[in-house]
Every structure is written in structure tokens, then in C-alpha cells.
Amino acid sequence: MNTYHATITITLRKGILDVQGKTVEHALHATDFPMISHLRIGKYVELTVEAENKTTAHSLVEDACRKLIANPIMEDFSISLNELQVENV
């Protein structure tokens, strides 16, 4: 089994109102940052996964995102995988 490190970025789908992002943007405009706009807040998830190969690891993480980590109705996610170590030498 190999170990992979995955980073996942989860963003609200276009067209869905990002209340948290709008609030932070208003607060920025009210302080010293009127030049910042289009602020949207999503989630950033890091995890390690054990799998036979990168393809299996990717489909496991994708499955976990779809079932539990993200909300596929309202959110998009993208996964990036890196192999950490090879134990089957």
C-alpha cells in the first residue's frame, strides 16, 4: 500500500450567494481595503489516504468528498494528490 497526501479545495458553485464572503468583503471595504472585490470563501481540506495506486487513491478521495466532505449540490471540489512514501519496496 502506498500513502498519498491529498489537498482538496471546495468552492461554492457560481451563482450561489456566498454570505460569509460578502460579509468579509463589506468589512474590508469599511476599513482600509476598498480595492479588494469578488471575495468568496471556500474550504481547504488536507488528508492522507492509503491505496494501491494513485488512481485508486483519487477515486477514494473523490468518493469521500461526494459522500461526506463536500456538498455536491452547492459546491464544486478539486483534488490534488502527491505520493508520500512507497512501502512496498
Binding site for its own copies (CB under 8 A): 9-11, 21, 24-25, 27-28, 31-33, 35-51, 60-61, 63-64, 67-69
Residue 40 CB, nearest approach to its own copies (Å): 5
E strand or H helix at 56: helix 54-64
Q: What secondary structure does DSSP assign to 63-75, as a single string?
A: HHIIIIIS-TTTE
Residue 60 CB, nearest approach to its own copies (Å): 7
Residue 89 CB, nearest approach to its own copies (Å): 20
Q: Given the complex with its own copies, which of 35 and 86 has the nearer CB atom?
A: 35
The residues, any chain, with a CB within 8 Å of residue 26's CB and separated by 6 or more, are none
